[in-house]
Every structure is written in structure tokens, then in C-alpha cells.
Structure 1
Amino acid sequence: MVTDTAHQPATNGAGSAAGTPDMPGGALSTAETPPDVRMYQMLYSSIVSQLLITAAELGLPDELTGGPRPVGELASATGTHRDSLYRAMRALASTGVFTEVEPGVFGQTPLSETLCSDVNGSMRDVARYVGLPERQRAFAAVTHSVRTGEPSFEHANGAAWWEYFAERPELGTLFNRAMGTMSRRVNSEVLDTYDFTGVRHLVDVGGGQGHLAAEIAQRHPDLTAVVLDLPRVVPEAEEVVRRAGVADRVRCAGGDFLEAVPEGGDLYVISWTLHDWNDEDATRMLSNVRRAMAPDGALVVIDEVPPAGDSPHFGKFEDIVMLALLHGRIRTERELDPLFRTAGLRLDEIRDTPSPTSVLIARPE
């Protein structure tokens, strides 16, 4: 078992000129900035996020796929106010999103390109999901969560997260697309970190739209799989596996993993799901997996595992998302270990990936 002190934090591959990790606010600050000035810039860093959401909603990066364009043309194409659009794009260009190639003429950058609709790994749906007014209201009220320990989403919107999205299918679809984007982002790293060779039957617990199971099945033609998620997600998952050409080997099943999971898998996967739940429900999910798996089976959990102490890690901010929206949490290894043990599982190994996501490998006790 790796200890907290030995577990090295993954980095996001970016940083300031001084080598400090690029955490929220990092685009505007460096280690050499005086503390009061740096604090002032960090307090204003949310403006960057809001402008990115605006750019995604308006489809500005898509408008620049053919090359740089004058801001007047962009305003006409997006139905926006010319001078206001210029001011917004000028601000984003100062952070590396867009570039002002000449006065009033803007072009694409590698950062702005990630918000295009059709590029591989597009972050546009993620930006639109982050910008949902209901989600924004929850973070505006996060003080409520810090004071009470209860999700500010329910406090601000009058309904719990899952109930709210279940009653609004269009928002649920956007959420699933955004999570699918993030799943695809980490899939290749996970597949490079864990060898699925020899797996006969995989069960993806809370597998969402089925991107991970579909990619694993593509790489391993002898493997069969089941993707388990809520019944309303099943049609979206079926479409994903159909497009991937593996519908004959990947079945999509509706169900509740807090009640039971399909039996017969020699490998179970929980990807970006365990952190959504409090300790009691997370243990219940793990226990259901343990009951369903064979004595020689294994469980792979894909999640963020931040280090203890002051070491920077994106998971420490993702944990605040859990605090505001749900009853879950991002857990350190020390917090994860008792959950696995209570469920009858032994957490054997944690493997870092180039992103903040880690691969946890557990087996029956």
C-alpha cells in the first residue's frame, strides 16, 4: 500500500513562468507577484471563467476556424454588440485564449480551439455545463455549504442535484455530454496506465454514456462488457457503443448501483463516480461490487486522489464542486482505504496518470 507521504501528486502539465502549478487564478498570477496584488488578481479570476463560458455559448471559436476575423464581422455573425465583444475578446486574448493579430482582428489559439464544437476533445459542452445558471447559483451560495455541510445547490435551487436534473432532461443531456467529454479526456491515459488484456467480461458501474467501455472493447476484441447507469441514460449509451461499432459486445443496462450491480464480471470499473457519494453510499456501492465479483476478480476505480498537506492538486478544487453540488467528496488515500476495507476489498495500488486522475486497483480481501 502506498502511503499519503509517498503518493506523488499528478500535475496538470501547465504552470506559471516561475514553475508554480497552474491552479485557479494562476493564469493571472506568478510567484513573484506581491501577495496583495496576487490576491486581488485571484479574486478577479472568476471573470476569466465567465468569459470562457460566454465564448462557448456564442460559438466564437467556431467563427475563427477559417482564420482571423475583424471583431465587426464576429459581432454580426454572433448577434453581439461590437465594442462589448471586442472588450471581452481582448481580455481573453491577454490570457492566451484568442490572439489579437492586429488592432480589432482576432485569431484562434490552441486554447480557444479547445472550445470549438467539432475538434477532438472539444471542451465546449463542459464550458456550457459549467455556465448553467443553476450551477452558478450554487457556487455563489457556497458559504452556505461551508457553514452547514449541506449542498448549496439545493439551498439555491430548491431541489437536490439529481432530482433537479431528472426533472429537466435537456439539462441532464448537457451534463451527460460534458461528463462524456471528460471521460474521453482521461480514457487514453487510463488505458495506458492499466492493461485490460485478458479481461473476459467487464462491468462499468455508473458508466454514463459508455465511452470508456466502448474504447476498451475496441482495443480488446475478445472482451464483452455491461454499462450500468440510470435507465434514462441507457439510450445515450446505446448510441455511443453503436457508433463505436461494439454494440454486439457491449450491453447497456438500466439500474441503481446503490441497490445491486450485474454479476459475472471478472473486472469492475467505477470511473468518476465514487466521489459523487457520501461515505455511506460510496461504501454501499463498493460492497455491491464486491458481492457481484468473482473471488479472483478485480476493481479499477478512476478518480482524483489528492495528496495530503499543502501540495497543489486539482482534486482539492474538485472537492469544492462536490461540497456545493452533492453530498460527495474527493478523498485522499487515507480517506479511501477504510471504505474499501469495510466493503471487503483491499486497495492494492494507486497509479498516477499525467492528468490529476489516478487509477486505483482493488481486489477482494
Structure 2
Amino acid sequence: MSQGTDVSYMKELHSESPLSAMIELHSGVRITYMLQAVAELGIADQLAGGPLPVDELAKRTESNADALYRVLRALAGKGIFTEVSRRVFALTSLAEVLRSDHPNSLRDAFQMHGQKFMHDAYAEVGHTIRTGQPAFEYVNGTQLFEYVAQRPELQELFGKSMGKANRQIQLAAVETYDLTGVQTLVAVGGAQGHVLAEILARHPGMRGVYVDRPRMVPAAEHTLSAAGVLDAAELVGGDYLESVPPGGDVYLVSHVLHQLGDDDTITVLRNIRQVMAENSRVLVVNAVIPEGDVPHPTKILDSTMLVLGRSRDRTEAEFEEVLQKAGLRLVDTVGRALPSSVVVAAPL
């Protein structure tokens, strides 16, 4: 390398250049696994009471002090933790989210996505690009949900990682739509019932109908009971790909359609259309991918789902297309600035 080329290269490294930006992106996978490790150790929980020396953190977490220091130093350089004095660390606003008791905790999510079987799937994204088939199935020989179901030691972590933050995202989206005056809300694919429970608690007098697979009903019953709204709800164990209960003023389909391909999505929407009144509404809570180069977290999430399974997120135009095929029209999309929006639909 000539001196001129060497100087040019160094200038690129010390500026906001494409080279520097790509190096930053290249470090992403390493940061992910550092976060997985400190989440597993519970470092943020240890710092909840205030700053601690790294030697004390290492003692509490049965870690090597030098190795822990070097990892925390690297994360502190990204604004995750802060070195308040030499070898003494404290939480930052980013690190707070790694606490187990944070309302939007991502500790379980970082632990889950750092597991080897997840890493191996992400590493085979090339297989997905070449074939269109999920890399997870290619690597692990089965679908993600089946893989977890066969391993009880993973089920709790998987449920937690998918749960708390996901519920907060769904509720934030639902809050953008005015449910005043709704007498009966049917939650199609209600999972463990958390979103329906929150809605019923906020709207006394509303009746809720829960429909999901029979094996999900006991968990939903527990959730609704704990929230004190079980008396306001009817629980239906069934397959929404076959039928949906009638009588809803609003049909809430929250984080369900992104798990389904177009054919099954149209089937669910048609089942709703067959039983809904002309003045009823369908609320699809889901990420809505913006067109063009607009940055949006769901663009990465959608490509992640491509690797892990047969799920997909959609643009507004793609939602409009599947709605029309089901006999529905798109009325509005609210909450566009949020990770998930509410796609409002009515009968054609």
C-alpha cells in the first residue's frame, strides 16, 4: 500500500464515511452476543441499586473480572452502561431495558436470540435468499414453535421473550384507535389474553369474546381472571382458520396475520367478513412496512421472520389487496409512527 493510499484509508476510518459506517454495522453481531451474555448474567439487575466495581459484579455473577470489564467497556462505548469511574459501572437509559423488572424489559429477548440454535439459523440467511425457505427449518429440522415445544427448558424463556415487549407494542397501537361505544369486541387469536384483558379493564361495560386454539384457553382464562375482567369475557376454543364467533362490533386481529401467508390471511379475514355486521369494523394490529428507503424497525423484523419461519409483514398496499380479496375495504391506517399500526377495515 502506498503512503497516499494509506493516508486516504486512515482518513476514511476517522470520518463519517461509508467505510466507517460499514465497519460499525459489521460489529453488530458481536455486540448482540455481548448483550446476550450480560443479559444472561443479570448485570443490569445487579446495577439497579447503583454503580458497582467490576470486581464486585464479577463476584456476584461468578464471572472473570477482566473479561467482564472488557465487555462492559465495549458496551459502554455504545451507550449501554457507563464507566462512572475507573472499573466502576452504572446503568444508562439503554441498559435499564435489560433489567428484569423494567416494564419494557428486553432481557429475555436478548437471551433468546443469543441461543446457539437461533444464531445458527441467522447464519444461514443465504439459504433463505437462494430458496425462499426458512433457514431455521433447514438448520434445525423443524419449525421454530415445534422446536421450542419439544424442549421444556426453552418454553418459559421463549414465552417471556415474545411476551412483554410484544404486548406493550400491541397496546400502544390499540390506544391510537377510539374504542368508545364498542359493546362487544372479539379478539381473534387472543394468545394469552393480555391485550383483551387490558382493553376490558380500560373500558368497563364492554364485553369481550376471546377465540384461539383450545390449548391457549387456560392461559387466557388465568390472565383475564388476574386482571379482574373474566366476568366480562367469553372464552372460545377454536380455529379462526375455520370460523369466528359472530356478534362483534369490533374484530381485533392483533399480531396474527404476520404469522400467516396470504392464503391463510384471506381465509381468516373472510371468516370475519361472513359473521360481521355492515357497521362492524376489523382492526388489524400489525406492523405496516413503509414504501421506499424510509427506515423502519419492521423492515429488519420482516427479514428476520423470513429466516425463522413462514411469517411476513406487509405494506399498506399489500394489506389493501388481501382485504379486498376477503370482501373488506381499507378505511384507515392509524399509529403509523409506532412499531405496529392499526389497519381499520369495513365491509365492501
TM over 0.5: yes
Check the 8 A contact 2:170/2:340 in 1, yes or no. Answer: no
After superposition, where does 1:56-75 map in structure 2 within 5 Å? 56-75=39-58
After superposition, where does 1:11-50 map in structure 2 within 5 Å? 33-50=16-33
Residue 295 of structure 1 is matched in structure 2 by 278
Tell me if 1:327 matches 2:310.
yes
The verdict on how the C-alpha distance between 1:176 and 1:204 changes in structure 2, with shifts beyond 3 A counting, is farther
Percentage of matched positions with identical amino acids = 44
Alignment partner of 2:144 out of 157, 161, 177: 161
Q: CA deviation at 1:188?
A: 4.4
After superposition, where does 1:1-365 map in structure 2 within 5 Å? 33-365=16-348
Q: 2-side partners of 1:129 and 1:241: how far apart?
A: 27
Check the 8 A contact 2:288/2:340 in 1, yes or no. Answer: yes
Give 1 or 2 for the bigger CA radius of gyration: 2
Q: CA deviation at 1:219?
A: 0.8
2:126 maps to amino acid? T
Q: CA deviation at 1:340?
A: 0.5
Check the 8 A contact 1:303/1:357 in 2, yes or no. Answer: yes
Point out which structure has higher relative CO (alpha carbons under 8 A, 6+ apart): 1
Q: Secondary structure at the match of 1:100?
A: strand
Residue 13 of structure 1 is matched in structure 2 by none
1:45 maps to amino acid? G
The verdict on how the C-alpha distance between 1:171 and 1:190 changes in structure 2, with shifts beyond 3 A counting, is same
Q: CA deviation at 1:187?
A: 4.2
Q: CA deviation at 1:82?
A: 1.1
The verdict on how the C-alpha distance between 1:224 and 1:179 changes in structure 2, with shifts beyond 3 A counting, is farther
Check the 8 A contact 2:82/2:91 in 1, yes or no. Answer: yes
2:288 maps to amino acid? V
Map Cα deviations across residues 152-210 of structure 1 (whole Å, 9 max, x no partner).
Answer: 11001100223223333453443332332123322442243101111111111122221
Q: Return the structure number with greater helix share.
A: 2
Q: CA deviation at 1:353?
A: 4.5
**Where does the alignment leave 5 or more consecutive residues of structure 2 unmatched?**
1-14
**Where does the alignment leave 5 or more consecutive residues of structure 1 unmatched?**
1-31
Q: Secondary structure at the match of 1:193?
A: coil
Please identify, of 322-331 and 250-259, the stretch whose mean Cα deviation from structure 2 is larger: 250-259
1:276 maps to amino acid? Q
Q: 1-side partners of 2:291 and 2:170: how far apart?
A: 26
Aligned length, in residue pairs: 335
> What TM-score, normalized to structure 2?
0.91
1:50 maps to amino acid? Y
